[in-house]
Amino acid sequence: MTASGTFGYGAEFMPYMDLSKLGAIVVKGLSLYPRQGNPAPRIVETPCGMLNAIGLQNVGVDDFIEKKLPLLKGVDTHVIANIFGETIEDYIEVAKRLDGAKGVSALEINISCPNVKKGGIVFGTDPQEAFKVVSAVRNATRLPVITKLSPNVTDIKVMVKAVEDGGSDAISLINTITGMVIDTERRKPVLATATGGLSGPAIRPIAVRMVWQAAQVAKVPIIGMGGIVSANDALEFLIAGATAVQVGTANFIEPDSSVRVAIGIAEYVSRKKTRITDVIGSLRIA
């Protein structure tokens, strides 16, 4: 899969790759109304990654349904709509509007984005609030619900249990890790918002660890992400217990990174003369 926020609304990448080779496209996060996002600068490169504070800029759920989604008609892959809101009511309304949208296969609830001043972060770090928003969305749609978890928590296992109890059909993790870059000449943050979300290879070991921890308690499928740029990276997540993976920041470097990762996984399975189901959760500690 592609990770939300790194692949636009899908159609933008049609000139560069065959989208049908992907298991799913997770589109840019959708809110009830259009958002302009944060002021510039909003992105800065870091060693082995990038820091972003886009602020969830998007066209809004209605424009997506009317103009963006039809462009994916005929593409033989699943379209997953990532959604977010500033209140539980926002989440409910966005979910309801997407529920009847032809071509949407599932919803991914973003309760973990760290780069806005209000909204998602409170849901993503409080088990009770996470339970409330997930259960509300679960009751508002017939679509499968995936909950995207934040790494900025004390105990990921507690959050896994909370969203499972709320009715989440699957869990995806991790989202970006809150970070900061400082301009030493000006003695000011580089990003206009001071902090942003760190992504890329720098966070992969943390992401793999958290997927492994989540897999110890999760009863629903886990989608792993965080710094995947190669098939070997993806295999770490699968061995740790993820049943699927998302490729994010790598899409900015090579638009077809997700397809390359999928091909590499298939080659690994063939070389090992095994099945992908035998790879998932096969980590040996002792």
DSSP H helices in 87-217: 88-99, 120-125, 127-140, 156-165, 204-215
* 48 noted as active-site residue: no
User: H or E segment at 278?
Assistant: helix 276-279
Q: Nearest to residue 133, comparing CAs of 112, 155, 156, 106?
A: 112
Q: How far apart, in whole angstroms, are the C-alpha atoms of residue 7 and residue 28?
A: 7
Tokens 């939300």 correspond to 4
Are 202 and 46 in contact by the 8 Å Cβ rule? The answer is yes
Q: Nearest to residue 137, comparing CAs of 59, 129, 37?
A: 129
Give the start-end residues of each E strand in 211-264.
222-224, 244-245
Q: In the numeric block, which tokens belong to residue 205?
A: 């070991």
Give me the phi and psi of 157, to 5 degrees please: -65, -35
Q: Is 58 exposed, middle or buried (0-12, 13-18, 19+ CB in 10 A)?
A: buried
CB atoms within 10 A of CB 97: 21
Residue of 113, 136, 215, 234 marked catalytic: 113
CB atoms within 10 A of CB 143: 20
Counts of helices then strands in the chain (DSSP H, E): 9, 13
Are 173 and 156 in contact by the 8 Å Cβ rule? The answer is yes
Active site residues: 113
